[in-house]
């Protein structure tokens, strides 16, 4: 059986992906100047890993030898019901269930297995927030979304609540047309950002971003920003919650991405008294475990204004 893009797309949807697109591998010319300026202006804050292998980040052929086609995939994580915010601390929707790095990578690898079963000569490798791959840029090139003013990928018919997976392969497939910008004059995401991290359209200052502060920043959250967390202790959905395109978001049906009964029952007192043993048990398969108990409790301390936390 010949391995076509139609068969790959059909299998991707069967595996739970909501979108699948294809692009010809090559240098990301549009992102070239932007990315280098981004690094020169130190807009990556403490994310120093972005400074490594800049050439590879702009050309996937240097990442995976023989790459001819880039496959872009979106996996929906929009929940049917958000966790309660009253008398509670807030975590972003992408952390409700099992660690998305694992969930998405498993499905991407399953797609690669299908490709190899159909054509034993195919070589491919999947990336989910891993390796020097500019996932958002390739999502646009694959035609499955554009980078909005909040710097997140927006799909015109499904919104922005999705994870991105990229597959690099030596299989030569007809590319799809890149997606174009549809933000227009809308600035709702910028207006909604509690800390003003979206300093201008398509430009994010990570040192002000709540997602960066609560996940990536190893040090404590700056005191001048603590009052702007609005109860958020892991990630932030403020710019997504107001995006008009998310009115098209359809709740996912993936059990792995649903919150546990324990997480659904948690309220402020439970978070404030969370022990390290409880943390390890509760978040053993969650992306939250990556920041560690100490960082989470520091975030809670900053969001609550309390200094008396276990």
Distance, CA of 35 to CA of 51 (rounded, Å): 10
Q: Alpha carbon of 276 to those of 39, 47, 90, 309: distances in Å? A: 37, 26, 19, 12
Residue listed under structure tokens 């943390």? 279
Distance between first and last Cα of the chain: 60
pLDDT in tens, 140-195: 999 999 999 999 999 999 999 999 999 999 999 999 999 999 999 999 999 999 99
Q: Specify the pLDDT at position 306.
A: 59
Distance, CA of 5 to CA of 199 (rounded, Å): 39
Q: Specify the pLDDT at position 212.
A: 95
Helix or strand run (H / E) with residue 74:
strand 69-76
Give the residue numbers marked as catalytic. Answer: 129
Q: Alpha carbon of 15 to those of 18, 147, 254: distances in Å? A: 9, 25, 10
Listed as ranges, residues in the chain with pLDDT below 50 are 307-310
CA nearest 63: which of 118, 15, 127, 111?
Answer: 127
Q: How many CB atoms lie under 10 A from the CB of residue 270?
A: 15
Spell out the domain ranges in the chain.
5-80+94-169
Longest CA–CA span in the chain (Å) reads 64
Q: What are phi and psi of 199, to 5 degrees?
A: -70, -30
23, 30 Cβ separation under 8 angstroms: no
Exposure string (b/e) for 209-222, b if CB count within 10 Å is 16 or more?
A: bbbbbbbebeeebe
DSSP3 helix / strand / coil % (the chain, rounded to 5): 40, 15, 45
Question: Which own/partner contact pairs does 53-59 have at CB distance under 8 Å and 24+ positions apart?
Answer: 53/132, 56/132, 57/132, 57/133, 57/134, 58/27, 58/28, 58/31, 58/32, 58/134, 59/25, 59/26, 59/27, 59/28
287, 129 Cβ separation under 8 angstroms: no
């Amino acid at each position: 059986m010949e391995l076509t893009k139609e068969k790959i797309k059909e299998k991707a949807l069967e595996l739970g992906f909501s979108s699948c697109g294809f692009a010809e591998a090559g240098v990301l010319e549009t992102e070239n100047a932007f990315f280098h300026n981004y690094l020169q202006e130190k807009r990556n804050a403490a994310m120093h890993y972005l400074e490594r292998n800049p050439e590879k980040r702009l050309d996937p052929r240097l990442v995976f030898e023989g790459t001819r086609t880039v496959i872009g995939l979106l996996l929906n994580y929009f929940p049917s019901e958000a966790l309660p915010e009253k008398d509670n601390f807030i975590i972003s929707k992408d952390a409700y269930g099992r660690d998305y790095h694992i969930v998405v990578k498993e499905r991407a690898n399953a797609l690669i297995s299908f490709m190899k079963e159909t054509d034993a000569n195919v070589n491919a490798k999947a990336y989910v927030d891993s390796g020097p791959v500019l996932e958002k840029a390739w999502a646009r090139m694959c035609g499955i979304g554009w980078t909005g003013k909040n710097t997140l990928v927006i799909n015109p018919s499904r919104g922005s609540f999705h994870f991105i997976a990229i597959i690099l392969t030596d299989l030569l497939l007809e590319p799809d047309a890149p997606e174009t910008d549809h933000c227009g004059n809308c600035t709702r995401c910028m207006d909604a950002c509690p800390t003003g991290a979206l300093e201008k359209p398509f430009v994010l200052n990570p040192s002000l971003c709540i997602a960066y502060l609560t996940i990536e920043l190893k040090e404590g959250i700056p005191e001048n920003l603590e009052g702007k967390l609005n109860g958020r202790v892991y990630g932030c959905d403020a710019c997504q919650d107001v995006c008009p395109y998310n009115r098209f978001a359809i709740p996912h049906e993936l059990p792995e991405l649903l919150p546990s009964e324990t997480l659904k029952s948690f309220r402020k007192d439970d978070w404030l008294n969370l022990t390290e043993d409880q943390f390890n048990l509760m978040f053993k398969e969650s992306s939250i475990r990556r920041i560690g108990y100490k960082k989470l409790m520091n975030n809670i301390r900053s969001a609550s204004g309390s200094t008396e936390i276990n």
